[in-house]
Amino acid sequence: MGEPDYSVILPAFNEEGFLPLSLPRLFAAMDQVDLCGEVIVVDNNSTDLTAQIASELGATVVFEKINQISRARNKGAEVARGRYFVFLDSDTLVSPELLQKSLELLSHKKAIGGGSLLTCEGVKIGDKPNKGVRLWNWVSVTLNLAAGSFIFVSREAYQQSGGFSTLLFAGEEINFSKKIKRIGRKQGLKFVIIKDHPIETSMRKLDWYSNWQIARMWAIIFIFPFVLYSSKLLPFWYHRPDDPIQPEKRQD
């Protein structure tokens, strides 16, 4: 079948519950776009059936032993064959319209990369979902930053940027957006946040953590940004209430 035009890269840690929903939706969306793509799931040292399920559903599976989102994304990019990269969270559902528009922006040289607005799983963006989601959408558009749940970029720009920072255990998508924007300015290409086809992402973390816990976490990050350099200080990203992994098994 030849080389794919684009690669969709999903970091996945213990996602046996969500992949049976997100991967079929992804493949269905890919069937409706003009270009040919591949799906790469990066098993980020899972202890469940993540790798087996991803493989059975048709994805290429690679392994990254260090539990870190940026490392998982970079590992997927190492084996990706496409000219364009789409980084997608495992608990996120992408529409064919968003995927098509992202690839058109890249292939027609109208953008060097970008992201999209967010909406909650099962909620339309016009319905005003979660206040936190609305706040992020405002930040994303105002500051032109992509959410980690959906980022598209050309292979060339990704390689020029050096990929996602492995120093950061959270906020790596913000750092990455800034690097890609700088590269784009030199080439006269924009970093685009797509507004008319929002990505649909799971709000499961709102079930795991109270509003007070989430607000406290963001306050700590704002006051003490050094916490972004340690997974142990970032439970919102690296801990689940039913997480079977012991802290010593998670490597920074």
Cα distances from 87 to residues 68, 84, 180, 189, 210, in angstroms, run: 15, 10, 14, 19, 28
Q: Which of 58-62, 69-73, 145-149, 201-205 has the lowest mean pLDDT?
A: 201-205
pLDDT at 124: 45
E strand residue ranges, the chain:
6-12, 37-43, 60-63, 84-88, 92-93, 113-120, 150-154, 191-201
Confidence of residue 238 (pLDDT cuts 50, 70, 90): confident
pLDDT at 218: 72
Among the listed residues 138, 141, 130, 252, the one whose alpha carbon sits nearest the alpha carbon of residue 201 = 130
Q: Mind listing the pLDDT tens digit for each residue in 16-62? A: 999 999 999 999 999 999 999 999 999 999 999 999 999 999 999 99
Report the predicted TM-score, pTM, of the whole model to 2 decimal places: 0.88
pLDDT at 249: 39
Rounded mean pLDDT of the chain?
89
> Which residue is associated with the tokens 């050096």?
162
Among the listed residues 139, 117, 114, 115, the one whose alpha carbon sits nearest the alpha carbon of residue 129 = 117
Task: Return d(Cα 43, Cα 79) in angstroms, integer.
Answer: 13
In the chain, what percentage of residues exceed pLDDT 70? 89
Confidence of residue 251 (pLDDT cuts 50, 70, 90): very low
pLDDT greater than 50 at residue 153:
yes
Backbone angles phi, psi at 124, to 5 degrees: -80, 150
pLDDT at 112: 98
The amino acid at residue 187 is Q
Q: Mind listing the pLDDT tens digit for each residue in 172-223? A: 999 999 999 999 999 999 999 999 999 998 877 767 777 677 777 778 888 8
pLDDT at 110: 96
The amino acid at residue 240 is R
Question: Would you call 12 helix, strand, or coil by DSSP?
Answer: strand
